RNA sequence: GCGAAAGUGGCGGAAUUGGUAGACGCGCAGGACUUAGGAUCCUGUGGGGAAACCCGUGCGGGUUCGAGUCCCGCCUUUCGCACCA
């Protein structure tokens, strides 16, 4: 379709040309700084935040624009409600995405990224977002990452950053260490099919596990999408249980973590993770070679087969025994890689009778299996055949504890063991400390200098930022060091403490550190001597509403909360939760299928904006499904929304200013004002648009000429969705100021309720007709009216046994 | 396996606390205007039936005057986590 084909009847004057209108208003908004609020004098502030994008070379895709538009509509609505709205934008431009793409096309990221950002700016501007471009930021800007480094230094000074050598996830394709969160089922998140290997490197970690309790607790009151909260709860993975000590004759004690201490009488063997420090100590000399061989084999295994791939349970007997503190029995100590060093204590008491994994292992290695819990209909002697972990059973074969419920048994057994110093109640979290080291080039250098005399020293604040140098050979290799480690001229520096020659840390930090605080920076982008201004931060944070994808439910959102908690604890901010409200937007599929490069159904929003205009495109994106659920983008369906805007345009131009508005139309208008005003805050944009379309149908029913008073408020209602056409029409209606400063129309409650209502009449629950009665009609009046209708009365055979009347809705006559 | 969400016309989707299922839009059909229509406007559009009516929200039960909505038991799909003791 071409623009010239939109014929508006000649008498309606100017045809609607989206390109002209949109260009005009985008220019004007920019010239008037219409979207840059005065941050220091805002009375009723509203900080509407959208997750900043990674500026890919492909440009914005429909999914990005769906999210941005939904965010923008909320922001514009708040503005119409009289708030000073701050809707900032930035670019998350560091990281492996950008670097890998740069490597692929052979262009340096320092050249590539500005180019991509420029393209994103162009696309975002075309979409007509109410974004404050004067406060745009990029994580790759030294003025920004100076403060990312500053945050690292604060954590280091306060003991929250530490160095640790340990098994890390290594992607042979990215040639770098990955965070646990970036490993999907043992494979690299960026390279599906590529197995992540274990490597042992010195890394920087943040003590996020110290905050597990608070991170979990706050979820109870945060106003966030339930799905996001549940993903975080899962990730933090709290389990209550007990730590139980098993003595090894000869002096050692092995601590195990269990959530089922009630089953201890069934612990017939124990298992250490291959990496467990006591493996070597406990193993008698004659079995050391064999054990060492097993340990080497399993630690070399990549994490795929270790964690998900091979489910058959391998292991080796150490030759040593430990004493079960409940039974006093000597139980064999095994080593097996189904026990993970990172969780609990890296050792378990194995209860094959009531744990599926232990059961499999015991069967394979002929270890005794004992029933200690009897479920409903089972006794102490019921044979065990597999999955047998009852939460609702009673204890059996458990000495003095026989007959107790699982809950009671758990409590009593822990008490009993605790008296003898063999157990204590503990809470365990699945969450690991956050590894922030990356052996790559495209990130902020970690601001540390190593000195042979003084050890690792933070770079003093006055020397920040540690600027990432331009180097041509930024390709990573598999030596485990960053490309920066090949540049002695860069990493050779004096120790800030003693002045002797030291060496810079050559790793860069995780992108998630960049994005863990950007929302604090936005209101303070003009300050170079502080990360965030005290007064500005106080006025503008925490964020009022945050919109983003649920793919960041655990990574970015958890890290941002953690960093904010730390900054609060250190006295830099006054709140511990950065986002009061978070809503996850849905995802767009296209013509019933997921958009993907391989399917070739990814489309560039530019083409739609050119063909239909940004207003129609925005409105269609919001119309195709609930914002929090996403929807199916179907090319043909845009025409419906375009038609709606065409009719809006025509209605304003045709509107009769002299004729009085019609009552019925005005009632519908006020109902629509109410509906749209209620739908937008709950992100029900699709139904808000449907309501406006419905009103349009009333407005233009049977080719009637709309009255000006009927049309004018509709322009305001439409404005958050289709801002350009709304501004243009508002101006054509004779207004001097922007429609966004016109205030949200109010509705007259008396016009929303009707004088007469249609009551559905049911007989025995089946709909048999309608009667129209006054709003205040009593049950008897409605019943009489219903029985006076022959089509209804014929179903009422005899005296009604019961009548149910729901005023204003229906009446049900039971015969 | 665990956790979360969801199954409604040909399609995308409405139905805020149990109260007229299918709003709104696409598509389709018929008509008007027109040299023309892939523009615009009007009318119709869940299925069956000539009609009266009957049947209909993944499946099977239940509660209720009344169930898409609540309860019990299944099936399917999507997403997240996955040997977490």
ipTM of the complex model: 0.95
Mean pLDDT, residues A516-544: 96
Is residue A703 scored above 80 in pLDDT?
no
Contact A431, A235 (CB under 8 A): yes
Kindly report the bases of strand B lying within 7 A of a protein C-beta atom.
3-5, 11-16, 19-21, 23-27, 37-43, 53-54, 65-67, 79-85
Do the Cβ atoms of A761 and A792 come closer than 8 Å?
A: yes
Query: How would you classify the pairing of strands A238-247 and A423-429?
Result: antiparallel
Query: Sign (positive/negative) of CA torsion A97, A101, A104, A110?
Result: negative
Query: In the predicted model, is pLDDT for residue A632 greater than 70?
Result: yes
CA of A5 to C1' of B23 (A): 30
H or E element, residue A347: strand A347-350
Nucleic strand B contacts from chain A, 766-795, CB < 7 Å: 766-767, 770, 791, 794
Burial of A703 per CB tally in 10 Å (0-12, 13-18, 19+): exposed
Q: Separation of CA A551 and C1' B79 in angstroms?
A: 10
Give the residue from A10, A4, A3, A13 showing the smallest Cα distance to A729: A13
Chain segment A148-190, per-residue pLDDT in tens? 999 999 999 999 999 988 667 777 777 777 666 566 666 776 7
Instruction: Specify the nucleotide whose C1' lies closest to residue A810 (CA).
Output: B19
d(CA A136, CA A727): 25
SS3 A175: coil
- Residue A237: CB less than 7 A from any atom in strand B: yes
Mean pLDDT, residues A204-221 taken together: 93
Separation between the CA of A552 and the C1’ of B67 (whole angstroms): 38
pLDDT at A480 over 70: no
The answer to whether the beta carbons of residues A18 and A725 sit under 8 Å apart is: yes
Q: Among all strands, which nt has the closest C1' to A233 (CA)?
A: B3
Arithmetic mean of pLDDT over chain A: 89
Q: Say whether pTM exceeds 0.90.
A: yes
Q: What is the mean pLDDT of residues A355-361?
A: 88
> Pick from A750, A773, A648: which is nearest to A700 by CA?
A648
Beta strand spans in A362-410 (E): 373-374, 394-395
Q: What's the pLDDT tens digit per position in A27-61?
A: 999 999 999 999 999 889 999 999 999 998 888 98
Task: List, in order, residues 6 or more apart from A559 with CB less than 8 Å away.
Answer: A208, A434, A512, A513, A515, A516
Nucleotide closest to residue A235 (CA–C1'): B81
CA–CA distance, A694 with A706 (Å, rounded to integer): 14
Per-residue buried b or exposed e for A402-413, using 16+ beta carbons within 10 Å of the residue's own CB:
eebebeebbebb
pLDDT digits (tens, 9 = 90+) for A325-335: 999 999 999 99
Q: How many CB atoms lie within 10 A of CB A383?
A: 8
Q: Which helix (H) or strand (E) covers residue A572, if one does?
A: none
Question: In angstroms, rounded to a whole number, what is the distance separating the alpha carbons of residues A382 and A12?
Answer: 87
**Regarding beta strands A176-178 and A373-374, do their DSSP bridges make them parallel or antiparallel, or are they unpaired?**
unpaired
Q: What is the mean pLDDT of residues A330-344?
A: 92
Please write the tens of the pLDDT for every residue from A570-606. 999 999 999 999 999 999 988 877 877 777 777 889 9
């Amino acid at each position: 379709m071409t623009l010239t084909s939109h014929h508006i009847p000649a008498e309606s004057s100017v045809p609607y040309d989206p390109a002209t209108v949109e260009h005009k208003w985008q220019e004007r908004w920019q010239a008037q700084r219409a979207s840059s609020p005065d941050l220091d004098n805002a009375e009723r502030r509203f900080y509407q935040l959208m997750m900043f994008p990674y500026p890919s070379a492909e440009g914005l895709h429909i999914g990005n624009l769906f999210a941005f538009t939904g965010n923008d509509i909320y922001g514009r609505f708040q503005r119409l409600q009289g708030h000073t709205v701050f809707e900032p934008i930035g670019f998350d431009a560091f990281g492996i995405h950008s670097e890998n793409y740069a490597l692929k096309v052979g262009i340096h990221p320092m050249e590539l990224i500005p180019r991509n950002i420029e393209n994103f700016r162009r696309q975002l501007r075309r979409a007509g977002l109410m974004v404050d471009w004067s406060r745009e930021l990029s994580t790759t800007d030294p003025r920004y990452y100076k403060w990312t480094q500053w945050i690292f230094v604060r954590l280091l000074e306060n003991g929250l950053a530490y160095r640790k050598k340990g098994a890390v996830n290594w992607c042979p394709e990215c040639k770098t260490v990955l965070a646990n969160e970036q490993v999907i089922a043992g494979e690299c998140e960026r390279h599906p099919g590529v197995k992540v290997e274990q490597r042992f490197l010195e890394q920087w970690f943040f003590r996020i596990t110290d905050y597990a309790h608070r991170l979990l607790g706050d979820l109870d009151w945060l106003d966030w999408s339930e799905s996001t909260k549940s993903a975080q709860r899962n990730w933090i993975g709290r389990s209550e249980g007990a730590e139980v000590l098993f003595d090894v004759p000869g002096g050692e004690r092995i601590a195990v973590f269990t959530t089922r201490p009630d089953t201890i009488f069934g612990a017939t063997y124990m298992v250490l993770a291959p990496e467990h420090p006591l493996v070597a100590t406990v193993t008698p000399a004659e079995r050391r070679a064999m054990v060492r061989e097993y340990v080497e084999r399993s630690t070399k295994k990549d994490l795929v087969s270790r964690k998900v791939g091979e489910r058959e349970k391998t292991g080796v007997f150490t030759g040593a025994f430990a004493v079960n503190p409940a039974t006093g029995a000597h139980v064999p100590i095994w080593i097996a890689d189904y026990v993970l060093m990172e969780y609990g204590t890296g050792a378990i008491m194995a209860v094959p009778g009531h744990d599926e994994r232990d059961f499999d292992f015991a069967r394979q290695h002929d270890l005794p299996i004992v029933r200690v819990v009897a479920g409903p209909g089972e006794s102490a002697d019921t044979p065990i055949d597999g999955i047998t972990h009852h939460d609702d059973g009673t204890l059996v074969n458990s000495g003095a504890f026989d007959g107790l419920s699982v809950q009671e048994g758990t409590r009593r057994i822990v008490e009993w063991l605790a008296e003898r110093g063999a157990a204590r109640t503990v809470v365990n979290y699945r969450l690991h400390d956050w590894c922030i080291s990356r052996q790559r080039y495209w990130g902020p250098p970690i601001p540390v200098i190593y000195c042979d005399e003084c050890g690792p020293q933070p770079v003093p604040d006055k020397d920040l930022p540690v600027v990432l140098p331009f180097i041509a050979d930024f390709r990573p290799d598999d030596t485990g060091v960053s490309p920066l480690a090949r540049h002695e001229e860069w990493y050779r520096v004096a120790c800030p403490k003693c002045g002797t020659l030291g060496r810079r840390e050559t790793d860069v930090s995780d992108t998630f550190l960049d994005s863990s605080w950007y929302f604090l920076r936005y209101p303070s982008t003009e300050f170079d001597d502080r990360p965030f201004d005290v007064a500005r931060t106080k006025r503008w944070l925490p964020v009022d509403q945050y919109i983003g994808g649920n793919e960041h439910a655990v990574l970015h959102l958890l890290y941002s909360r953690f960093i904010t908690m730390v900054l609060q604890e250190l006295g830099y901010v006054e709140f511990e939760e950065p986002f009061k409200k978070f809503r996850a937007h849905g995802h767009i599929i296209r013509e019933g299928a997921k958009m993907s490069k391989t399917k070739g159904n990814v489309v560039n929003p530019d083409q739609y904006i050119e063909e239909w205009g940004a207003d129609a495109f925005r409105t269609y994106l919001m119309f195709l499904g609930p914002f929090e659920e996403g929807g199916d983008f179907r090319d043909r369906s845009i025409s419906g929304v375009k038609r709606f805007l065409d009719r809006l345009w025509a209605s304003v131009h045709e509107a009769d200013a002299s004729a009085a508005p019609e009552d019925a139309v005005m009632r519908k208008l006020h109902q629509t004002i109410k509906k749209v005003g209620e739908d937008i805050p709950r992100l029900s944009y699709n139904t808000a648009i449907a309501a406006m379309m419905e009103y349009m149908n009333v407005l233009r029913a049977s080719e009637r000429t709309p009255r000006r008073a009927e049309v004018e408020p509709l322009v305001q209602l439409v404005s958050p969705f289709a801002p350009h056409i709304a501004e243009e029409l508002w101006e054509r209606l004779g207004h001097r100021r922007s429609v966004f400063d016109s205030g949200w129309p109010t509705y007259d409650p008396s016009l929303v309720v009707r004088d007469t209502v249609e009551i559905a009449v049911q007989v025995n629950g089946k709909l048999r007709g309608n009667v129209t009665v006054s709003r205040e009609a009593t049950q008897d009046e409605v019943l009489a009216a219903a029985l006076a209708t022959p089509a209804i009365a014929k179903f009422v055979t005899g005296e009604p046994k019961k009548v149910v009347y729901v005023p204003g809705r229906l009446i049900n006559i039971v015969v």
